[in-house]
A and B are shown apart, each in its own frame.
Chain A
Amino acid sequence: MIAPPRPRDAVFDEAFLRKLERLDLVARKLRSGILRGERRSTKRGQSVEFADFRLYSPGDDLRRVDWNVYARTERAFIKLFVEEEDRTVHVLLDVSRSMDWGEGDGHKLTWGRRAAAAIGYIALAGLDRVAVATIGGGVERRAPALRGTRSLFRLLDFLVDTAGDAVGTPPDGGADLDSALAAYAARARNPGPLFLISDLLVAGGGKAGLAALAGHGHEPRIIHALAPDELDPTLVGELKLVDRETGTARELTVDEAALTRYRRGLATWQTDLATHCAGRGWPYLPISTATPFEDVILNALRRGGMAG
């Protein structure tokens, strides 16, 4: 039982912590089944587990030349080992103004903070390093690298502090998700699994930013969170649609035909994102914030793709 040391905001209440604990149990079970307690790095490095040979080239460490092979073949081979390392799980939470949307538990930022906490907690429990950052909205926060379940509350505190970010963001200009992601990619050391929790409501859907992350060695996993009324709007009438993020207004007579066009556009957009991510091996998970975050996380873990 994780006891909250001090009252936090409503997002991380007792019920949330209990859910987190249960999630961790399930996650452990899944992880033991899938990963056998340790993680392999795809990198070759210094460890005890042999991976491969390659020809010596000048500058290589002479200590790693396999002399036995040299004795047999008179050619110098370098022994390569699977590098064992601390994995850093990055959790990026979009806090642009468009995330400040939704009602109750379906509020996108609330949902995103909970999901980020859950992912972070599971990663911490898995002895991974966790790097949490908020992007978008012009304010960027980065938590210091966290390690171990004891860091959970630091993670939560960090996420609690993000609460006002989205609302505080000036509406003009909007969040340039792509540049924020690119900046993060440039700064972040220890690239690794990177969870992006965002509504991707920017032109281009953040594809450029994701590409930048991938270029720096990150393995993006996209949790595309949209509120129920974004997935299926219930607007009607003569409307002047004001963009929460940019403040720009569009006039539209919303009737069934317009709603149909909206749904068609949404489906096209999501399909395009899914195709884009699938082509690059990035897990893409479109969700509605009406779905409880723990279900989403479990589902993601079960499918395996997200947990890596």
Chain B
Amino acid sequence: MGALTPIGLGLLALAVPIVALYMLRMRRREQVVSSTLLWEQAIRDVRANAPWQRLQPNLLLFLQLLALAALVAALARPFWLGATPLGANLVAVVDVSGSMNATDVEPSRIERAKGEVRKLIDSLPANGQMTIITAGTGAEVLQAATGDRAALRQATERLRARTGTTNFTEALALAAPAAERLPDTTVVIISDGGFTPPSSTDIRATVRFVRVGERSENLGITAAATRRTASGAELFVRVQNFGAVERKTLLSVYDGATLIEARALTVPAGGESGSTIGLPAAVGILRAAIDAPDDLALDNTAWVRSGGNKGRVLLTSAGPNTFLERGLALQPNVVVERAQGGASAPVGGGDYDLYIFDGVAPPQDLRGPILLINPPRDNGLIAVTGTIERPAITGQLRDDPTLKGVDLSRVQIAEAVAVERPEWARALADSGGRPLLLAGETGGRRVAVLTFALGRSDLPLTLAYPILLANLVGWLAPDAGSGLPETVRPGEVVSLAARSGVDGVTITDPTGRERRFAPARGVVLFPNTDTPGPYTVREFVGAREIKRSVLTINLLSVDESNIAPQSPQIGGTAAGAVTGEASRSRNELWRPFLLAALFILAIEWWIFYRGGARSLGLFARDLWQSRPRPSRGRARKRPA
């Protein structure tokens, strides 16, 4: 609160001459009475407070002083900083992330948030419009801009805390156009602050932050993952304590319904505790749970699929092959391991989804799918007859799945190995009938052969290279890496890449509800990921189930588990920020004061010239009841 021209307040001194003039000017109506004798008594009693009596019941003077006060207040140009006033139109962005389930406030944060929204609806000006946007893992316009309060209230009732993280960037991206569409719009973010503030916002509107939530008594699992080590698989679980006191808890790890391990943990206040738990050889879906009665139950359980989601690729090469390693690293669904040892060293134990041999002959007893690059002589798979100098790729099987989206026609090759196409293979690309890329099935496995070293061509520099590699990996090891992401947050839309030929995908969520999807362009989009837990994904060709995999959905978010209410800076550098002294808006108040002054003067004029004094006097009498004024021709009403 402050005034831009506080010196203007000095004009309040004008009240003195007004009062003085009034006292001088105060004309009493002359009233002849038969005798003042009887009035003496009445006058005598009053004389004690005579100075006040002169001014007491004068409405006009009162109004003049009021108008003066309002005018002076307007001249002083008062303003106030800080919480910016709500605009004529509102955009409410409501956090519906997992942390809003916290019950540290009664009955829960989301209910409080609903209350805030209702307050906003109530405060909406008569012709104002309001938009309600939810910010969860994704953002959603719950109610487009409307002045219909009933619709807004209904939308408010539909508000529900989800289980995911908070994506305010997206929510604000929705809010920005909504705010710009209408003038004088305030964006009100109702949240517990449990989100990573977006670095900048492009909202050209006042942004206001309303915080819900009080305390942060929460113990949560913020990380859970399996990994393979030389000694076997193990599960890593991180439990974080966001509260202010040290907490003891019991971490239990289940394989299905079987308890694998129970471990007592002590987590210091604000600290964390990591646990590594060795896993038996074959485990399915692991469930890690802590028993912690706290404000947020959502993060007390995490599900992990043992072995991860990625296919494992063993790469054996004669020497370092940067192109191949880089190319494989780009494949999202595989993890590449390099074989120990040199050229034809025996492949280590363990099942790999794909074996890649670069200039090295694969072992004869290998049973997995093989990608053979630059095959040496006597490789056991394909007969090598010599070399080809500068072969030009003249033909390719364009409709083969491995060449989908791949154009090899411009690839320059310095030298390739001349091979004979075996019966089981088809030539995907050839140079005048001499195959350069072959694929086929032999010995119960899929094999692909690239007859030239990557380093001896410009293939790795072309756009076709990563696509070709992905196609080959996908074809050779279809089971490797189901395409399921490692971690899925609740509320996120999961994109499942269906294998070619798959015409149906069913997904069973943890509650047992099964949904069936038909892949569109080889992709299934699964949005119903609100419930954390394991989701079973089954792929069908016709009625035949060809693959079953598991998708786990976990909160596993420090931001959401940390339910401590915060007031984040939103777009500290952008226009219309909420916090920070520099960006606080200054709200000048002279306008209402001026309007009030004009209004008061109008009333005074009306009273003075239109004889409104009587009716107003009667009004005042009704108002106070202590100063009844009888009027001629009216039955006197005594105050009760």
Please tell me which stretch of B23-31, B116-124, B188-196, B286-294 contacts chain A, meaning at least 4 of its Cβ atoms lie within 8 angstroms of it.
B23-31
**A104 vs chain B, min Cβ distance (A):** 15
A74 interface residue per 8 A CB criterion: no
> B34 near A256 (CB under 8 angstroms)?
no
The interface residues of chain B lying within 8 Å CB-to-CB of A236 are 629-631
A252 CB contact (under 8 Å) in B34, B35, B46, B629: B46
The interface residues of chain A lying within 8 Å CB-to-CB of B423 are none
What 0/1 pattern do residues 135 to 172 of A give for CB contact below 8 A with B?
A: 00000000000000000000000000000000000000
The interface residues of chain A lying within 8 Å CB-to-CB of B364 are none
Please tell me which stretch of B36-44, B414-422, B464-472 contacts chain A, meaning at least 4 of its Cβ atoms lie within 8 angstroms of it.
B36-44
Categorize the interface residue count of chain B.
20 to 34
In Å, the complex CA distance between A199 and B28 comes to: 27
What 0/1 pattern do residues 200 to 230 of A give for CB contact below 8 A with B?
A: 0111000000000000000000000001001
B53 interface residue per 8 A CB criterion: yes
Please provide the chain B residues from 29 to 69 with a CB less than 8 Å away from any CB of chain A in the complex: 29-43, 45-46, 53-54, 56-58
**A229 vs chain B, min Cβ distance (A):** 9
**B106 vs chain A, min Cβ distance (A):** 53
A245 CB contact (under 8 Å) in B27, B35, B630: B35
In Å, the complex CA distance between A202 and B58 comes to: 33
The interface residues of chain B lying within 8 Å CB-to-CB of A268 are 41
B628 interface residue per 8 A CB criterion: yes
In Å, the complex CA distance between A252 and B627 comes to: 16
> A258 near B42 (CB under 8 angstroms)?
yes
B41 CB contact (under 8 Å) in A199, A239, A265: A265
Main secondary structure of the interface of A (DSSP, over half): mixed
In Å, the complex CA distance between A98 and B33 comes to: 8
Task: Report the nearest B residue to A253, measured CB to CB.
Answer: B53
Task: Report the nearest A residue to B42, measured CB to CB.
Answer: A261
Categorize the interface residue count of chain A.
35 or more
> B31 near A261 (CB under 8 angstroms)?
no
> A252 near B42 (CB under 8 angstroms)?
yes
A50 interface residue per 8 A CB criterion: no
B32 CB contact (under 8 Å) in A203, A238, A242, A264: A242
> B33 near A256 (CB under 8 angstroms)?
no
Interface residues of B (CB under 8 A from A): 26-43, 45-46, 53-54, 56-58, 627-632
26 A-B Cβ contacts within 8 A?
Answer: A201-B34, A201-B35, A201-B37, A203-B37, A230-B33, A230-B34, A235-B33, A236-B629, A238-B26, A240-B31, A241-B33, A244-B33, A245-B35, A249-B36, A250-B40, A253-B46, A253-B54, A253-B57, A254-B42, A255-B57, A261-B41, A261-B42, A262-B42, A265-B38, A265-B39, A265-B42
- Extra contacts, 13 of them, besides A98-B35, A242-B33, A244-B33 (Cβ < 8 A), are A98-B34, A201-B35, A235-B33, A236-B629, A240-B30, A242-B32, A242-B36, A244-B32, A253-B56, A253-B57, A255-B57, A256-B629, A265-B40
For the complex of A and B, the 4 pairs showing the least CB-CB separation, nearest first, are A265-B41, A101-B34, A201-B35, A261-B42
